[in-house]
Amino acid sequence: SAVISQKPSRDICQRGTSLTIQCQVDSQVTMMFWYRQQPGQSLTLIATANQGSEATYESGFVIDKFPISRPNLTFSTLTVSNMSPEDSSIYLCSVRRGPGTEAFFGQGTRLTVV
């Protein structure tokens, strides 16, 4: 398994501001992902965080709104920019050690935008 630490665990933010979420893994992993879980909904992939290069975004998600960094194999950040109430969700970091391996999740960041 993998121990994943996500910070902050929750936050309440004003619209128009930005929040950066951190994801730290206890060991090196090949793959890191960011998911969003809107209230009462399932998980939707935002992007794959690529080490040393630009993230790969899913349809409907853009870099200007959700910039992602991954400076090494154990750490990534997701920024939610220019927030609106529609961005109120749980944001989850996920890791896989490699292809065909299990995927593990952090505890999530519960974001409320007012």
Partner 1 sequence: QKEVEQDPGPLSVPEGAIVSLNCTYSNSAFQYFMWYRQYSRKGPELLMYTYSSGNKEDGRFTAQVDKSSKYISLFIRDSQPSDSATYLCAMSAENAGGTSYGKLTFGQGTILTVHP
Please give the residue ranges that form the binding site for partner 1 (CB under 8 A). Answer: 1, 4, 6, 31, 33, 41-45, 48, 56, 58, 92, 94, 96, 99-100, 102-108, 110
Q: Which residue has the tokens 């519960």?
A: 110
Measured distance CA(31)–CA(53) in Å, rounded: 13
> At closest approach, how far in Å is the CB of 1 from partner 1?
8
The nearer residue to partner 1, 15 or 70, going by C-beta atoms, is 70
Rounded distance, CA 1 to CA 26, Å?
10
Residue with Cβ nearer partner 1 (10 or 15): 10
Running DSSP on this structure, what letter comes out for residue 58? Answer: P
